[in-house]
Chain A
Amino acid sequence: MNRRAFFNWGTGGLVALCSGVGVSFAAMVRFLVPSVFYEPPQSFKIGDPADFPYGPPTFLPEEKIFVFRDRDRGFAVASAVCTHLGCTVAYFQSDHRFHCPCHGSVFGPNGAVQHGPAPRGLNWFEITQARDGQLLVDKDKVVPPSYRLMV
């Protein structure tokens, strides 16, 4: 076989090989991305609308969310995880604010930072109504503080 033929076949083979390696690499990365999580789900149902009172928000400790229900504007769900270092904040009815016990961050009624070392306001999560009428919260979907679900 002459040099040109050798070179062509050889290069062709090398290209195929490198492509194969490239695909394998991409596949390996995808392999490492988990398809299921052994954690509580990010999207979950919290119950019927009738289960939630108006006025002070309902705190769900396992899901770490506050569920607000306003007579005029409907439902809203705020995260109870402080944006500073992850402690669970508490809601005080007296001043309608969220207070973090760890480093003293204070968040206003709409979750904005008013005081303390927190860098961002509290997240508000999307809340919708599932087809069986139950309320569905999705922590993967962050919405603006003005978001409300009217039921």
Chain B
Amino acid sequence: MGRKLPQVFFALSTLALVLIVAAVWQASTPSWKDYQRRFFQLEAQDEPNAVTKAAVLATPPQIHQILLPGLQRVDRCTTCHLGVDDPTMKDAPEPFRYHAGLGPHIPSKFGCTICHGGQGLATDVKDAHGEVPFWQDPLLAKSYIRASCGRCHKEGDVPGVPELTEGRRLFESEGCHGCHKLNGVGGSIGPDLTEEGTSHRSPEWLERHFLAPNVVSTGSAMPNFHFTREQARALTYYMLSLTNEEMGSYYSSVLLIPSPEYGRQLFVEKDCIVCHSIGGVGAKTGPDLLAVTKRHSLEWLDEQLVNPQLVYPGSSMPEYDLETNARKALVAFISAATSDDAQEILGHRGKALTAEDVAIEAGRRDFARFGCAGCHGTELQGGVPNPNAQGGQVPSLLHVSDDYTKDEVIQIIRDGKVPPLDNASGPTPPLYMPSWKHLLSEEDIHQLVEFLWSKQQKSKESW
């Protein structure tokens, strides 16, 4: 018989017993139990009634879970953040503090991570806050949390989050569409931004990228737009809101806070002033719109926008294909619009409208909408670096009429153009003129060219 085997057996068995007890102990003492104990002590502190106090202190620890099938997530944050819906905890230390200002966004219906980020499935601090490798959605810093509003409130203004509106506006005006696709519209030179909010690029990275694209993303062809810090932040907010999560109807039918700004934009876009007046200023074909919400209900007005023939059979008002949020915004604008607004809108439109004016206006809108400004500049000045292209940069459009006929430009817009190489054996330039025939109709292209021609500058005669 082996000399010491029985002792070895005893030692190993005892070790096994110790280990299994250690494993059970490890499993029975997760950190969240400590937090719960501290919370109950806090709760019991001010409780005068001895019976209730004892009951509170004796509450069994358990994991709290908010099931959110409509948001496709499970949040366990309230396991430690127990005071989130308890107003008496407004001065308590974190993690027990009351969350004020939620309004309709109650935790039991919205959870926490949809706004704050983090890992809802986790039950210990570092993992739950997402500050671990392999979880790429960490808690949003305080300065970026409000960007999450844009994940549901996708259009119009969100009160308290002007950055979203500004970011959206900048995206359109600076011509980002020219290189980046968004919701199917845009160019393919840069990455598609439709779901940039879920790309796991951190807000800090995005903001730095807007301020200095080439430094942050080496080799990028994106020009430096010289944004201010505030503009970069606004754009970052807009990026963070670009998500395409599947949400239950409770969340996706969210009431839009109608934006009068957006409504005004639509009013101008659809050229309502051509038939309507506000406070006497404008056209006389259709009714005056001043204080129209006092005469008709919002539902009536909404129906009018959807189906004008239903309300006034034989009406010459066309059917505009506006979605719910857009209609709400338009009505919001009209409800507060005055004759001054109408005056301003008329002023921007110029006096008489010729077919050419219409075309130029349409062309200007398309120039902005499809992001041509992104490469050719908002003033058509060009200048964006394009290494190894002839001229070394994206050309200015202010002198195209010198070198091309209208038909040639139409053909370039329709079919695209690869810039001629400066050095034939050098690398291909990163920027090129894409083909737009799939996105722009012939009429659109004609209108663009009309717009371009209206902007041409006479070049100096050279001898």
Direct interface between A and B, CB < 8 A: yes
- B10 contacts A130, C-beta separation under 8 Å: no
> Does B189 sit within 8 A of A, measured CB to CB?
no
- A16 contacts B13, C-beta separation under 8 Å: yes
A14 to B3: give the CA distance in the assembly, Å. 18
- Given known A35-B63, A130-B85, contact A16–B17 (CB-CB < 8 A): yes
8 Å CB contact of A16 from B1, B16, B62, B86: B16
- Given known A130-B86, A131-B88, contact A5–B6 (CB-CB < 8 A): yes
- B9 contacts A13, C-beta separation under 8 Å: yes
- A131 contacts B3, C-beta separation under 8 Å: no
A45 to B67: give the CA distance in the assembly, Å. 15
Q: Which residues of B contact A6 (CB under 8 A)?
A: 1, 6
- B20 contacts A23, C-beta separation under 8 Å: yes
The contact string, 1 if C-beta is below 8 Å from chain B, for chain A 37-58, is 1111100110000000000000
8 Å CB contact of A23 from B4, B24, B65, B87: B24
> Does A27 sit within 8 A of B, measured CB to CB?
yes
- B16 contacts A20, C-beta separation under 8 Å: yes
8 Å CB contact of B86 from A1, A19, A23, A132: A132
The contact string, 1 if C-beta is below 8 Å from chain B, for chain A 131-150, is 11100000000000000000
For chain A, residues 2 to 16, give those with C-beta under 8 angstroms from any C-beta of chain B: 5-6, 9-10, 12-16
- B108 contacts A38, C-beta separation under 8 Å: no
A97 to B37: give the CA distance in the assembly, Å. 44
> Does B12 sit within 8 A of A, measured CB to CB?
yes
- B67 contacts A16, C-beta separation under 8 Å: no
A129 to B62: give the CA distance in the assembly, Å. 21
Q: Which of B13, B14, B16, B67 has the most CB of A within 10 A?
A: B13
Q: Which residues of B contact A16 (CB under 8 A)?
A: 10, 13-14, 16-17
Q: Which residue of B lies closest to A27 (CB)?
A: B24
8 Å CB contact of B13 from A5, A13, A37, A40: A13
Interface size range of chain B in the complex: 20 to 34
8 Å CB contact of B108 from A12, A20, A44: A44
> Does B21 sit within 8 A of A, measured CB to CB?
yes
Q: Which residues of B contact A38 (CB under 8 A)?
A: 67
> Does B23 sit within 8 A of A, measured CB to CB?
yes
For chain A, residues 22 to 39, give those with C-beta under 8 angstroms from any C-beta of chain B: 23-24, 27, 35-39
Q: Which residue of B lies closest to A16 (CB)?
A: B13
- B6 contacts A132, C-beta separation under 8 Å: no
Q: Which residues of B contact A44 (CB under 8 A)?
A: 108
> Does B49 sit within 8 A of A, measured CB to CB?
no
Q: Which residues of A contact B17 (CB under 8 A)?
A: 16-17, 19-20, 23
The contact string, 1 if C-beta is below 8 Å from chain B, for chain A 51-94, is 00000000000000000000000000000000000000000000
Q: State how many angstroms separate the Cβ of A33 from the closest Cβ of chain B.
A: 12
8 Å CB contact of A132 from B27, B63, B85: B85
Q: Which residue of B lies closest to A23 (CB)?
A: B20
A44 to B78: give the CA distance in the assembly, Å. 14
Q: State how many angstroms separate the Cβ of A30 from the closest Cβ of chain B.
A: 8
> Does B459 sit within 8 A of A, measured CB to CB?
no
- Given known A19-B17, A23-B20, A132-B85, contact A13–B12 (CB-CB < 8 A): yes
> Does B354 sit within 8 A of A, measured CB to CB?
no
- A20 contacts B65, C-beta separation under 8 Å: no
Q: Which residues of B contact A9 (CB under 8 A)?
A: 6-7, 9-10
The contact string, 1 if C-beta is below 8 Å from chain B, for chain A 99-138, is 0000000000000000000000000000000111100000
Q: State how many angstroms separate the Cβ of B105 from the closest Cβ of chain A.
A: 14
A10 to B62: give the CA distance in the assembly, Å. 42
Q: Which residues of A contact B27 (CB under 8 A)?
A: 27
- A17 contacts B16, C-beta separation under 8 Å: yes
Q: Which residue of A lies closest to B84 (CB)?
A: A132
Q: Which residue of A lies closest to B16 (CB)?
A: A20
Q: Which residues of A contact B9 (CB under 8 A)?
A: 9-10, 13
Q: Which residues of A contact B89 (CB under 8 A)?
A: 131
- A27 contacts B23, C-beta separation under 8 Å: yes
Q: Which residue of A lies closest to B98 (CB)?
A: A132
A37 to B74: give the CA distance in the assembly, Å. 11
A39 to B62: give the CA distance in the assembly, Å. 15
Q: Which residues of B contact A14 (CB under 8 A)?
A: 13
Q: State how many angstroms separate the Cβ of A42 from the closest Cβ of chain B.
A: 11
Q: Which residues of B contact A35 (CB under 8 A)?
A: 62-63
- A20 contacts B6, C-beta separation under 8 Å: no
Q: Which residues of B contact A20 (CB under 8 A)?
A: 13, 16-17, 20
Q: Which residues of B contact A45 (CB under 8 A)?
A: 108
- A12 contacts B21, C-beta separation under 8 Å: no
Q: Which residues of B contact A12 (CB under 8 A)?
A: 10, 13-14
Q: State how many angstroms separate the Cβ of A36 from the closest Cβ of chain B.
A: 5
The contact string, 1 if C-beta is below 8 Å from chain A, for chain B 80-101, is 0000011111000000000000
A126 to B63: give the CA distance in the assembly, Å. 21
Q: State how many angstroms separate the Cβ of B119 from the closest Cβ of chain A.
A: 15
Q: Which residue of A lies closest to B89 (CB)?
A: A131
Q: State how many angstroms separate the Cβ of B351 from the closest Cβ of chain A.
A: 58
Q: Which residues of A contact B24 (CB under 8 A)?
A: 23, 27
A12 to B6: give the CA distance in the assembly, Å. 9
Q: State how many angstroms separate the Cβ of A149 from the closest Cβ of chain B.
A: 15
- Given known A20-B20, A38-B67, A132-B87, contact A1–B6 (CB-CB < 8 A): yes
Q: Which residues of B contact A (CB under 8 A)?
A: 1, 3-4, 6-7, 9-14, 16-17, 20-21, 23-24, 27, 62-63, 65, 67, 76, 85-89, 108
12 contacts between A and B (CB under 8 A): A1-B6, A12-B13, A13-B6, A16-B14, A20-B17, A23-B20, A23-B21, A27-B20, A35-B63, A41-B65, A130-B85, A132-B87
9 nearest A-B residue pairs (beta carbon): A9-B6, A16-B13, A13-B10, A20-B17, A13-B9, A13-B13, A131-B86, A17-B13, A16-B14
